């Protein structure tokens, strides 16, 4: 019976809103009408949007894998000081909200960023020489920054477990470095590349905050168009058609990703060869270059964000932080920005308390129902493949009448956040659950233990670290969730990312300083959650 709880939650708050989107798109006036779909595929504008969404996601994924692959090789083959710490810290960008990532690159490379300030000072210019905002280049850079660590961790963990026997045999037979990469290394790590590429592509395809803040409507993806059509133009049938196109596009990739996880987890248990110290000059140069480029790329934007929030007019200023307790006159904010921090903390706690038991039951269902696992695993991962924008849009069109009239309720936000966090909780618990030998539970039951006693005395202690990781993931994901919150947040229930977005859109330097200060606060909260996750799950481990 417990298995019905996550299924019911998913049915009511995921499938029902999605079916409502289908209904609006296919029957906008109560009868079958495919004009919205026809407009989607016959209009050059929306066809270009669909193609551009695939293009930017594919390009971002390719660049991410191209950069992560050589770094993974360095981490697998060599030992060097700070290796474990660097691999852990490299994951920090992934747990950051997209609005923080977007403003970090704005603070570094934007018109008001540190790089342009430096160039103006060096060359005595009265304009910003580096014009990257509202370009595809800065979107790709931000996506790579956000997803690099995911690809690195998945490839590194899988590759380290394979050992080096095949490479050593090929080298003895005369294979050069090109043949080793072409015939040995790449074929061996193909499952990890496919899994990492699928997950990164999903994140890039459903990216919203980065594209909205750095690209704007000129580089609109499906996510941005859904929001624009639903909120600005109120063309619900077309927004629904765009949402359906996004869902169907992601479903196949989610099946590929989930089907490959069990094989990857089995590989992680095999052991593998240990890394060695770099000996030759070329090896030391490779390690040094990898470490330097990773540190420069991953940490410079975050340092720029902090520095830009503290400096105004060439001097240290805390005005942006002081203004967080004030309600800006004439602004779009109906509460002081600091009140949004309280909202986000409250919603994150509620989301964590809901997502953790639902995720635990779902993980048990996937693990124990082997014949149905191929259905349940991708089913519970669907919220990850569905954009938060689509979820928020589904909520406002489905949950606005009895008996589920939640559109004006404050609880609609933690419900949406729970949906977004649920896949992260499941992926945190499932590997640990699969690692528990089935014979332990069977032996305990033979000795007279009830299933409940086996769960509380055996499974729960073994799962405790992964449960804390899942809870921390749920809390952190909720704190940074942006797309759904932008749709469903009411005047008095806005969250930190929504406030950052509204402040960033205001003209003037003062709102910009406030947005940066809010980003730093959110970054610190997410960084604390990240440190707890890394401490409990072990450096370099886990699916995310």
Q: Which of 201, 196, 199, 191 is nearest to 264 (CA)?
A: 191
274 belongs to a structural domain: yes
Determine the average pLDDT of the residues in 98-121.
Answer: 89
Q: Tell me whether residue 73 is in a domain.
A: yes
Mean pLDDT of the region 429-450: 79
Q: Where are the alpha helices (DSSP H) in 96-164?
A: 98-109, 114-123, 136-160
pLDDT of residue 373: 66
For residue 104, give its domain range.
4-16+47-165+183-307+321-537
Residue 78 is predicted with a pLDDT of 92
Question: What pLDDT sits at residue 540?
Answer: 40
Is pLDDT of 378 > 80?
A: no
* 111-135 pLDDT, tens digit each: 888 899 888 888 888 888 888 888 9
Residue 192 corresponds to which tokens in the numbers above? 């990890």
Residue 151 lies in a domain: yes
pLDDT-derived band at 182 (thresholds 50, 70, 90) equals confident
Residue 258 pLDDT level (bands cut at 50, 70, 90): low
Q: Report which listed range, 222-236, 295-309, 380-394, is most confident.
A: 295-309
In this structure, of 74-88, 100-114, 392-406, the range with the lowest mean pLDDT score is 392-406
CA 73 to CA 180: how far, in whole Å?
A: 13
The enclosing domain of 359 has a CATH number of 1.10.3720.10
- Kindly report each contact of residues 437-444 with a partner whose C-beta sits within 8 Å and lies 24 or more positions away, as own/partner: none
Please check whether residue 236 lies inside any domain of the structure: yes
* Distance in angstroms (rounded) separating the CA atoms of residues 231 and 239: 9
Q: What is the DSSP letter of 312?
A: E
Band the pLDDT of 9: cuts 50, 70, 90.
very high
H/E element, 74: helix 44-77
Predicted pLDDT at 416: 92
Question: Is 27 a member of any domain?
Answer: no
Structural domains in the chain (count): 1
Contacts 24+ apart (CB under 8 A), 266-271: 267/158, 267/161, 267/162, 267/191, 268/157, 268/158, 268/161, 269/161, 269/435, 270/161, 270/162, 270/163, 271/161, 271/163
**Quick check: is 388 in a domain?**
yes
Tokens (6 digits) for 495: 């969250």
Better pLDDT: 6 or 24: 6
Structural element, H or E, at residue 315? strand 315-316
Q: pLDDT tens digits, residue range 294-326?
A: 999 989 999 999 998 988 766 788 888 888 877
User: What average pLDDT does this structure show over 342-355?
Assistant: 94
**Does residue 479 sit within a domain?**
yes
Instruction: Please compute Rg for the chain using Cα positions.
Output: 24
What is the distance between the alpha carbons of residues 199 and 223, in angstroms, rounded to a whole number? 17
What tokens does 440 get?
A: 């332990």
**Is 31 part of a structural domain of the chain?**
no
- The answer to which of 13-22, 70-79, 228-237, 355-364 has the lowest mean pLDDT is 228-237
The two three-digit tokens of residue 185, written as one number: 């290394």
- The model's pTM: 0.84
Higher per-residue pLDDT: 200 or 540: 200
Confidence of residue 328 (pLDDT cuts 50, 70, 90): low
Quote the pLDDT of residue 96.
85
**Does pLDDT of 26 surpass 80?**
no
- H or E element that contains 311: strand 311-312
Once rounded to an integer, what is the mean pLDDT over residues 274-301?
90
Q: pLDDT digit string (tens) for 453-481? A: 878 888 888 898 889 889 988 999 999 89
- Statement: residue 255 has pLDDT above 90: no
Q: pLDDT above 90 covers what percent of the chain? A: 25
């Amino acid at each position: 019976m417990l298995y019905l709880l996550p299924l019911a939650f998913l049915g009511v708050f995921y499938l029902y809103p999605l079916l409502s989107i289908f209904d609006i798109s296919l029957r906008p006036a109560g009868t079958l009408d495919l004009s919205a779909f026809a407009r989607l595929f016959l209009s050059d504008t929306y066809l270009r949007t669909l193609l551009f969404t695939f293009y930017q996601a594919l390009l971002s994924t390719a660049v991410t894998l191209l950069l992560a692959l050589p770094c993974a090789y360095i981490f697998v083959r060599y030992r060097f000081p700070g290796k474990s710490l660097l691999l852990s810290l490299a994951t920090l960008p992934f747990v950051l909200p997209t609005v923080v990532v977007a403003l970090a690159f704005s603070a570094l490379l934007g018109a008001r960023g540190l790089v342009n300030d430096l160039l103006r000072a060096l060359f005595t210019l009265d304009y910003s020489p580096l014009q990257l905002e509202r370009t595809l280049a800065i979107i790709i850079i931000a996506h790579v920054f956000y997803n690099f660590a995911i690809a690195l961790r998945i490839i590194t963990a899988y590759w380290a477990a394979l050992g080096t026997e095949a490479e050593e045999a090929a080298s003895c037979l005369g294979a050069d470095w090109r043949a080793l990469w072409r015939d040995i290394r790449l074929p061996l790590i193909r499952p990890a590349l496919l899994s990492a590429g699928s997950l990164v592509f999903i994140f890039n395809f459903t990216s919203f905050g980065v594209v909205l803040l750095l690209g704007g409507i000129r580089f609109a993806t499906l996510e941005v168009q859904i929001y624009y059509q639903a909120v600005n133009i109120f063309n619900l049938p077309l927004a629904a058609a765009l949402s359906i196109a996004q869902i169907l596009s992601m479903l196949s990739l989610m099946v590929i990703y989930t089907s490959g996880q069990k094989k990857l987890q089995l590989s992680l248990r095999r052991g593998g060869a240990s890394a060695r110290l770099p000996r030759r000059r070329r090896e030391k140069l490779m390690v040094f270059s990898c470490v330097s480029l990773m540190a420069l790329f991953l940490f410079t934007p975050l340092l720029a964000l902090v520095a830009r929030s503290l400096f105004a007019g060439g001097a240290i200023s805390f005005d942006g932080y002081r203004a967080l307790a004030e309600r800006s006159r004439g602004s779009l904010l109906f509460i002081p920005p600091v009140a949004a921090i309280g909202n986000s903390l409250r919603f994150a706690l509620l989301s964590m308390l809901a997502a953790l038991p639902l995720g635990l039951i779902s993980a048990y269902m996937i693990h124990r129902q082997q014949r149905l696992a191929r259905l349940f695993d991708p089913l519970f991962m669907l919220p990850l493949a569905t954009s938060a924008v689509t979820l928020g849009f589904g909520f406002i069109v489905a949950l606005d009448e009895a008996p589920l009239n939640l559109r004006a309720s404050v609880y609609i936000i933690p419900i949406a956040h729970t949906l977004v966090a649920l896949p992260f909780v499941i992926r945190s618990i499932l590997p640990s659950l699969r690692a528990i030998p089935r014979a332990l539970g069977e032996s305990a039951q033979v000795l007279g233990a009830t299933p409940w006693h086996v769960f509380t005395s055996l499974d729960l202690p073994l799962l405790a670290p992964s449960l804390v990781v899942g809870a921390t993931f749920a809390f952190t994901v909720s704190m940074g969730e942006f797309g759904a919150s932008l749709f469903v947040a009411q005047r008095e229930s806005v969250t930190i990312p929504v406030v950052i977005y509204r402040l960033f859109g205001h003209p003037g330097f003062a709102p910009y300083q406030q947005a940066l200060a809010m980003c730093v606060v959110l970054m610190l909260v997410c960084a604390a959650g990240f440190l707890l996750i890394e401490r409990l799950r072990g450096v370099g481990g886990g699916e995310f």
